[in-house]
Structure 1
């Protein structure tokens, strides 16, 4: 209901808005929707947020016998050890080097696959290739590393093939430190590249076909169409995924690295994730292991915020 009055030639409209519904009434009205959200909400609160309270031991000399509340408070002592411990510096170097290799070689592969599949006109062949390349995503790292071990061990099929064809002596793929990083990157490419391709194919599905038709009329080749239409169409998706990837710069994935590690490759393959396990669990240095893990998370958060802001300054859409 509204009333209108005219004063000095100006129309003033006064509206009486309906009273806003109380929060309790709105929750009751949408109760079934909130019930659907409840299991996921409980999961994230209980398994993601409540355990974060345990980070307090990074600021204590934690003792399981004294507990969280009665252990001696030491402030930033364990964080200072991160930069004073030569082993931590080496582990951080391994982590950054692995991140660089994965970003350089593994990150572009889904983009290339998506561009190639986008050029396939036979839909049956396209669907078949998609299924083949993303099926490895559903294998666990235990299975993947097991397959790699069977193929690359000293008596494996690869060494037998090299000996039969070229007469070569067996190569110690799994024990030689120089092979560790390349094998990790190749495993990531084989397992995850096909799944990442789906994201870029979804982005390409939204490209207006008339753009390609106009380019053909103008005489543009397939390469020119890809360079000037296809790539700009997925540029935003590439930037968002790159921002998210930078957030995990110190997160190399525990399971894969742990399963591939052995005494011969420990120096080049031990990364922050496995270091926290060895130091915090096996050696019972809980406070220092927690400090390293918390440091890793803070670095990721800062990088995401910084790169996201930088992307927006260049006119791209960020993550948030």
Structure 2
């Protein structure tokens, strides 16, 4: 059998490669810019955004190792080393806040992460395309509503004088303090987050489901597989890599439990279980006077743990599936 690549073609290919190598760097740069210049131009605002708002502020992390004050500035303030880190490790309030953060984050991942996957699968399995589009569009809308408005809706339904408690009083004469009870706060917190973000988070899983080969479903039907068996053996394995990547990314924000949501939902009755790291940093760093260094140290501590969790999750994902990790 004759080889597809003849010696003559290899010779010409090598000659082309050598010509590219001999071409001046300036000309090669002009050729690349001529071909891809428009794409690079579109990419400049993205690079500028991350450089200005994400990487440049990282220089301020040095505040965590200093006693910062406005008069001396960041670099003129006295150096204290790890004093602020020792302070929050020895602080009993910090560990209470840290445990609150882990518990709420665990509940959000346990119930909030599978929800968009199941919702995307249900939409994908719907036979009526019109209804599927209606449900899909309606599920997106809460994402664009601010947490202030969402909490306003929750207050109208679940407060002492809200719609739900009004019905309960008319039936049983009793009401339940949904928004001001430590017994129900975590349920309300996770439930409202799922309602707001489930439809929006399902978009990427819906896109992944379109990549699953329809011929696999036909072959499975011919072999006698029912709907549940096709879901378990074809649909979910087909989007397994996307699920693992999204899970790793969600672990990166594990300790950043929705600050806006906590800010509108927290009250003195539930603060013992509702105060999380982000709100604690806001309270000790901005509401208290001249505590910027301590708040920065707590924020840096949280970021280091988040990076460690992402690396660990990526390592485990690569062990379970070669295509499961991000890098």
The TM-score with structure 1 as length reference comes to 0.91
Q: Name the CA distance, whole Å, in 1 between partners of 2:122 and 2:43.
A: 39
1:282 paired to 2:287 = yes
Change (3 A) 1:309 1:20: farther
Q: 1:53 aligns with which of 39, 59, 66?
A: 59
Q: 1:161 aligns with which of 167, 175, 178?
A: 167
How far is the alpha carbon of 1:303 from its aligned partner?
1.3
* Unaligned segments of structure 1, at least 5 residues: 5-12
- The alignment partner of 1:249 has SS state of coil
Q: How does 1:134-145 map onto structure 2 within 5 Å?
A: 134-145=140-151
Q: Name the CA distance, whole Å, in 2 between partners of 1:130 and 1:244.
A: 23
Q: 1:170 aligns with which of 175, 184, 208?
A: 175
1:200 paired to 2:205 = yes
Q: 1:180 aligns with which of 185, 200, 205?
A: 185
The 8 Å contact of residues 159 and 171 in structure 1, kept in 2 or not, is answered as: yes
Q: Name the CA distance, whole Å, in 2 between partners of 1:214 and 1:32.
A: 45
1:319 paired to 2:326 = yes
Q: Name the CA distance, whole Å, in 1 between partners of 2:64 and 2:265.
A: 29
Q: Name the CA distance, whole Å, in 2 between partners of 1:248 and 1:99.
A: 9
* Unaligned segments of structure 2, at least 5 residues: 1-6, 8-13
**Greater strand fraction, Structure 1 or Structure 2:** 1
Q: Name the CA distance, whole Å, in 1 between partners of 2:180 and 2:132.
A: 39
Who is 1:103 aligned against? 109
Who is 1:212 aligned against? 217
Who is 2:23 aligned against? 19
Q: 1:83 aligns with which of 75, 89, 96?
A: 89
- The alignment partner of 2:179 has SS state of coil
Q: Name the CA distance, whole Å, in 2 between partners of 1:44 and 1:213.
A: 46
How far is the alpha carbon of 1:266 from its aligned partner?
1.0
Aligned positions, number: 308
The 8 Å contact of residues 236 and 316 in structure 1, kept in 2 or not, is answered as: no
Q: 1:303 aligns with which of 285, 292, 309?
A: 309
Who is 1:122 aligned against? 128
Q: Name the CA distance, whole Å, in 2 between partners of 1:246 and 1:224.
A: 30
Who is 1:10 aligned against? none
Q: Name the CA distance, whole Å, in 2 between partners of 1:206 and 1:56.
A: 46
The 8 Å contact of residues 204 and 234 in structure 1, kept in 2 or not, is answered as: yes
Q: Name the CA distance, whole Å, in 2 between partners of 1:181 and 1:314.
A: 32
1:131 paired to 2:137 = yes
The TM-score with structure 2 as length reference comes to 0.89
How far is the alpha carbon of 1:269 from its aligned partner?
0.2
Q: How does 1:222-237 map onto structure 2 within 5 Å?
A: 222-237=227-242
Q: 1:241 aligns with which of 242, 246, 249?
A: 246
How far is the alpha carbon of 1:219 from its aligned partner?
0.7
Q: Name the CA distance, whole Å, in 1 between partners of 2:178 and 2:116.
A: 26
Q: Name the CA distance, whole Å, in 2 between partners of 1:89 and 1:74.
A: 22
Change (3 A) 1:56 1:26: farther
Who is 2:298 aligned against? 292
Q: Name the CA distance, whole Å, in 2 between partners of 1:237 and 1:264.
A: 40
Q: Name the CA distance, whole Å, in 2 between partners of 1:307 and 1:26.
A: 41
Q: How does 1:21-40 map onto structure 2 within 5 Å?
A: 21-22=25-26, 25=30, 29=34, 30-40=36-46
- The alignment partner of 1:160 has SS state of helix
How far is the alpha carbon of 1:312 from its aligned partner?
1.3
- The alignment partner of 1:134 has SS state of helix
